[in-house]
Amino acid sequence: MDKNERRICGYSSLLIALMVNAPKLLALRENGLMARYWQFNPFELLFQFAFTLFFCGLLFSVNLRRNRGLSLYRESKQHVRYVVSNFLVFCVLLILGTVLQRLLFPDRQLPRLIFSGAFFRLGLSALLTGIIIKIILLIRDAGSIAAENQQLKNAYLASELQLLKEQMNPHLLFNSLSSLSAVVGENPQQAQKYIRDMSAVFRYALAGSHQDLVTLSDELTMLRSFAKLISMRLEDAFELKIDMADTYLPIKIPHLSLQPLLENAVKHNAATPERPLRVTIVVQDDQLIFSNSLWEMPTPEASHGMGLANLNERFRILLHREIDISRSDTHFIVKLPLKQ
């Protein structure tokens, strides 16, 4: 039994013991019906209350402790043995309670009345205890089903997240290699710097491949390295500005959230020194706002929106929130929710 079940059993045992022994208080009335059969004795009442409490507690224990006691019969579907064993426990405790009461209070009542009283108290207690045991078992079953469903859901989400990350990393690799080939042809010395920065980017991508959430500080460090790769290609046609307070840096976001946004901005804009691609990253109202200027390409590349869909799905799985995408005549804006 867990902690909550033990509390339920304890309070229930106390309540049942009070209920089945409370009628004995009617013997305080001299002319009452109860006074004809039982003379009020506080010590005898205390004994009956304590024994009923013990009786209920024992029934709860042998029926609800996992893999122990009578629970073994119930869990193995041996219903006949389970019922018979409970009946034998009831009979043994009934006889024990009767014998103890006669030994402790020999002059109080006739033996037949002692047995009848004990049978009534323990029989009613057993009935109420059985109902509560059934309720606890139903709650257990419901909790087990809910836990299994949650495990299946978590496994599904983990698999889905892994697929999303596997889709993302090859895309980053192919685009980086394509850019590298262009830099090598134009400026071999610049290509060496490009390779160093590209190594830093991929080192971060691979090191964090087993981490679902990383700090915003780590993401921005990687983004600056990735921005150097873009600057080598676009030179004066690219500008990155990051403006946020240090208090936001420890906040965690999905791994590789910012790189796809910067990559998309470069891919879908015709940047020139006269019309540079300007990217700004700020934080407002617990949202990271990624904004880039729009310079439409004469012949835009085909886009299926998989990168943003992938990013949105990872935010939905990991942070239970979705990104916000908007577009104006001059800017493309993506707002990422930050979970404090």
Q: Which residue, of 123, 150, 177, is where some domain finishes?
A: 150
Radius of gyration of the chain (CA): 37
What is the Cα–Cα distance from 214 to 254, expressed in whole angstroms? 6
Range of the domain at 254: 187-337
Specify whether 142 is located in the same domain as 248. no
For residue 305, the model assigns a pLDDT of 59
Specify whether 113 is located in the same domain as 225. no
For residue 249, the model assigns a pLDDT of 92
Q: Mean pLDDT in runs of 10 for the chain (340 residues)?
A: 84 88 64 56 84 90 82 81 88 89 72 77 90 88 75 58 52 60 66 75 70 87 86 84 92 87 86 91 92 82 67 84 91 88
3-state class of 244 per DSSP?
A: coil
For residue 165, the model assigns a pLDDT of 55
- The CATH number of the domain holding residue 301 is 3.30.565.10
Residue 221's nearest CA partner among 251, 258, 252 is: 258
Residue 113's nearest CA partner among 216, 39, 51 is: 39
Is residue 156 assigned to a domain? no
Q: How would you label 74-99 residue by residue, b for 16+ Cβ within 10 Å and e otherwise?
A: beeeeeeebeebbeebbeebbeebbe
Class of residue 279 by CB neighbours under 10 A (exposed 0-12, middle 13-18, buried 19+)? buried
For residue 107, the model assigns a pLDDT of 66
Per-residue pLDDT of 265-310, as tens digits, reads 888 888 888 899 999 999 998 899 999 999 887 765 655 556 788 7
Specify whether 130 is located in the same domain as 209. no
Contact 254, 339 (CB under 8 A): no
For residue 311, the model assigns a pLDDT of 84
Specify whether 12 is located in the same domain as 127. yes
Contacts of residues 295-299 at CB distance under 8 Å and 24 or more positions apart, as own/partner, are 295/269, 295/270, 295/271, 296/269, 296/270, 297/268, 297/269, 297/270, 298/270
Specify whether 209 is located in the same domain as 70. no
Specify whether 328 is located in the same domain as 203. yes
Q: Which residue, of 131, 150, 169, is where some domain finishes?
A: 150
Alpha helices in 105-215 (DSSP H): 111-186, 188-207
| Structural tokens at position 137 | 């078992």
Q: How many domains does the chain have?
A: 2
| Structural tokens at position 20 | 């089945």
Q: Which residue, of 150, 173, 199, is where some domain finishes?
A: 150
Is residue 292 assigned to a domain? yes
3-state class of 283 per DSSP?
A: strand
Specify whether 140 is located in the same domain as 198. no
pTM tops 0.95: no
Is residue 180 assigned to a domain? no
What is the Cα–Cα distance from 227 to 215, expressed in whole angstroms? 18
Specify whether 223 is located in the same domain as 130. no
Is residue 178 assigned to a domain? no
Kind and range of the H or E run holding 284: strand 277-284
Is residue 129 assigned to a domain? yes
For residue 171, the model assigns a pLDDT of 55
